[in-house]
Amino acid sequence: MANDMMVKELEQVVVRFSGDSGDGMQLAGNIFSTVSATVGNDISTFPDYPADIRAPQGSLTGVSGFQVHIGANKVYTPGDKCDVLVAMNAAALKTQYKFAKSTACIIIDTDAFQKADLEKAAFKTDNPIEEMGIKQDVIAAPISQMVKDCLADTEMDNKSMMKCRNMFAVGLVCWLFNRDLKIAEDFIREKFAKKPAIAEANIKVIHAGYDYGHNTHASVAHTYKIESKSSVPGRYMDITGNKATAYGFIAAAEKAGLKLFLGSYPITPATDVLHELAKHKSLGVMTVQCEDEISGCATAVGASFAGALAVTSTSGPGVCLKSEAMNLAVITELPLVVLNVQRGGPSTGLPTKSEQTDLLQALFGRNGESPMPVIAATSPTNCFDAAFNACKIALEHMTPVVLLTDAFVANGSGAWKLPDLNEYPAIQPPYVTPEMKDNYTPYKRNPKTGARYWAIPGQEGYTHILGGLEKDSNTGAISTDPENHNLMCHLRAEKVAKIEVPDVEVQGCAEDADLLVVGFGGTYGHLYSAVEEMNKSGKKVALAHFSYINPLPKNTEAVLKKYKKVVVAEQNLGQFAGYLRMQIDNFAPYQFNEVKGQPFVVAELVDAFTEILNK
């Protein structure tokens, strides 16, 4: 596949595919990401879906984007702006050009820039390049017509041919970055395994795109190569956060020796977890798509009572509806993992966009005193460990646990090293012991952890009753005694507070930083990149990023009070900063808050943090 132009080696590059929501930009991005991850590059991706179910074709609101950052070394974000922008129609160029660097290469399908297309995209002239003042290198190719010519000898109709346009763009980008098409071919054949004719048509088009780049020398000067410099050998795959979360649940069930049960109701952007787990009946996974959110949670509580590792998955609006059943798990003290893939709100809000606005809901959004551990995943690949750890805490401490991800990490992907489960800790629920037989009551507790002992229904000699009414701490019988209720509220809260979590790590100038940046969850990559960039320019900045929100790490107060200035950066209006002020006396941080439905921009973070440093 080598071409006869000069090959320039790069450390990293950002490519953004964009087009109509029916143009297959997500698939195009996934193929190029997989090709890159398979050859050993590190990747970080950001699928940017339109919120419309199906916006009018060619409209500005219907543009779908997929950005991938490829690096020879570790990359932490999908990148602020792209080196290559693929715009499959006029609306895509109009809305996505702002993401292109001044040095970017722009690829357009001229067949999708006809008069009607330009009018839909609100262009005033018939020369969009000139009208927008675009100075970058533009590869303007009649992609649609070339795809038709390529597939003319097939029996495909025009509509089916046009669905292959995205593959031409993938082929052209693969040529630009000196990629071997064999990996892309394998991906396509696997994806369309039940439609081999479709697979071969797409492969034919991807080769046509590659050959077009080669034969016309589409790039002005050269193609590019990004060599892998990964120092950790192993098998890698491109994995989304939702798939990694599903795998983490399966791994935890395997470690605990339990069957995995998911009770769920479809909701964007969490549905892929249900789809993925439904594929794995052979691993003992049971999935139930319920008629509504509360039944999704209630069936999981029932499965937990019966002795399974129980999970329910949703997004913010679904957590609202599940809250009563979640509280049933609190008062019965049954293990349950509640996955909240956060999206833009309130109400239906921005269903396909990402926020961190459900934090206080996760901590306090239920009636009564209802303490739950809360864990937040920091990246697509970290979702595996976060899901595993959430299950371990739920099972070993007999409590429901909220696992927070968000649309950015759930739909985004990274290069994931397949783990060795032998390196993961055992999961040991506090089962009843033979000595308790015929003398068991449901709220007998482990004196060290405060967790109650778990008797699985059907075990002779361990008959007991659980339910939503308050129970006597000694007998397990229904109790309305005020002193008993006060005691039980304290016991449930203390059980959560006793959970041991790792200390929060300080990165960057840990010893003598003039500014500590604090964040949680899916903003890690952007905050780390901003701190790293500031350190390289000589500024003393450190980062403390939290995965464990409740309970907080034991060293939290010591870390936050060590530095002269602290800024809490989050994608909400200050929920984590407010929670930290509740937990730590006299803590008054600066705040950086955005609620745009989009990831942070590293350059904007650097500017904001520099301004705080200079105050």
Does a structural domain hold residue 443?
A: yes
Domains identified in the chain, total number: 4
Are both 459 and 322 inside the same structural domain?
Answer: no
Q: Give the Cα separation of 465 and 104 in Å (integer).
A: 66
Q: How far apart are CA 167 and CA 109, in angstroms?
A: 12
Same domain as 518, residue 484 = no
- What percentage of the chain has pLDDT greater than the value 70? 96
35 and 141 assigned to the same domain: yes
Domain identity same for 162 and 275:
no
β-partners of residue 580 are none
pLDDT over 70 at 9, yes or no: no
Domain that holds residue 338: 237-423
The mean pLDDT of 559-587, rounded to a whole number, is: 97
pLDDT category at 8 given cuts 50, 70, 90 is low
Mean pLDDT across the chain, nearest whole number? 94
Exposure string of 330-358, with b = 16+ CB inside 10 Å and e = fewer, is bbbbbbbbbbbbbbbbeeebbbbbbbbbb
Average pLDDT over residues 63-83: 94
pLDDT exceeds 80 at position 383:
yes
Q: What CATH number is given to the structural domain containing 416?
A: 3.40.50.970
Q: Give yes or no: residues 34 and 143 share one domain.
A: yes
Question: Following DSSP, what letter does each residue of 310-340 receive, concatenated?
Answer: EEEEE-HHHHHHHHHHHHHHHHHT--EEEEE
Categorize the per-residue pLDDT at 89 as very low, low, confident or very high, splitting at 50, 70 and 90.
very high
Please report whether residue 603 resides in a domain. Answer: yes
User: With contact defined as beta carbons under 8 Å apart, do 412 and 441 qualify?
Assistant: no
| Residue 232's pLDDT band (cuts 50, 70, 90) | confident
* pLDDT level of residue 172 (50, 70, 90 thresholds): very high
Q: Rounded to whole angstroms, how far apart are CA atoms 159 and 169?
A: 17
Shared domain check, 314 and 250: yes
260 φ/ψ angles, rounded to the nearest 5 degrees: -100, 130
Does the pLDDT at position 130 exceed 70? Answer: yes
452 DSSP β-pair partners: 445
Is 230 part of a structural domain of the chain?
Answer: no
Q: Read off the pLDDT band of 234 (50, 70, 90).
A: confident
Residue 207 CB neighbours (<10 A): 19
Closest CA to 49 of 32, 29, 69: 29
Q: What is the average pLDDT across 195-214? A: 95
Position 227 scores a pLDDT of 64
| Token pair of 367 as six digits | 């009636």
Q: What is the largest CA-CA distance in the chain?
A: 85
Please tell me whether residues 481 and 512 are part of one structural domain: no
User: What pairs with residue 414 in β-bridges?
Assistant: 44, 239
Please state, in angstroms and rounded to a whole number, the distance separating the CA atoms of residues 54 and 57: 8
Amino acid sitting at position 84: V
Q: Report the CATH number that the domain containing residue 515 is assigned in CATH.
A: 3.40.50.920
pLDDT at 191 over 50: yes
Bridge pairing between strands 374-376 and 548-550: antiparallel
Q: Decide if pLDDT at 2 tops 60.
A: no
Distance CA 346, CA 358 (A): 10
**Are residues 289 and 323 part of one domain?**
yes
pLDDT tier for residue 222 given thresholds of 50, 70 and 90? very low
Check: pTM over 0.85? Answer yes or no.
yes
Tell me what pLDDT residue 1 has: 40
pLDDT on residue 225 = 61
Q: Report how far Cα 85 is from the mean position of its chain's Cα atoms.
A: 23
**Separation between Cα atoms, residue 569 and residue 517, nearest integer Å:** 7
Give the DSSP H or E segment for 491: helix 482-497
Within a domain: 1: no
User: Between vectors from CA 233 to CA 232 and to CA 237, what angle results, nearest 5°?
Assistant: 100
Cα–Cα distance, 76 to 57 (Å, whole number): 34
Please name the amino acid found at residue 285. Answer: V
Last residue of a domain, one of 186, 203, 225: 225
Domain assignment present for residue 134? The answer is: yes
Chain position carrying tokens 């046009």: 162
In this structure, are 417 and 385 located in the same domain? yes
- Please give the backbone phi and psi of residue 350, each rounded to the nearest 5 degrees, phi first: -115, 90
Q: Determine, yes or no, domain membership for 495.
A: yes
Burial profile 361-375: b = 16 or more Cβ within 10 angstroms, e = fewer: bbbebbeeebbbbbb
Q: How far apart are CA 590 and CA 379, in angstroms?
A: 25
Which residue, 423, 448, 471, sits at the end of a domain?
423
Q: Same domain, yes or no, for 383 and 310?
A: yes
User: Do residues 182 and 206 share a domain?
Assistant: yes
Q: How far apart (Å, rounded) are the C-alpha atoms in residues 314 and 331?
A: 21
Within 13 Å of residue 422, how many CA atoms lie on the same side as its CB?
0
- Tally the residues of the chain: 615
Find all residues with CB under 8 Å of 125, minimum gap 6, and list them. Answer: 118, 131
Find out whether the peptide bond into 47 is cis, omega within 30 degrees of 0. no
Please, where are the H alpha helices in 9-65? 25-38
Distance (Å, whole) CA 493 – CA 487: 10
Distance between CA 304 and CA 457 in Å, rounded? Answer: 10
Residue where a domain stops, chosen among 482, 500, 518: 500
The rounded distance, in Å, linking the Cα atoms of 206 and 27 is 13
Give a yes or no: residue 349 inside a domain.
yes
**What's the pLDDT score for residue 229?**
60
36 burial class (0-12, 13-18, 19+ CB within 10 angstroms)? Answer: buried
Same domain, 19 and 139: yes
Residue type, 35: V
> In terms of Cα–Cα distance, which of 71, 413, 420, 74 is closest to 234?
420
Least confident of 18-22, 493-497, 561-565: 18-22
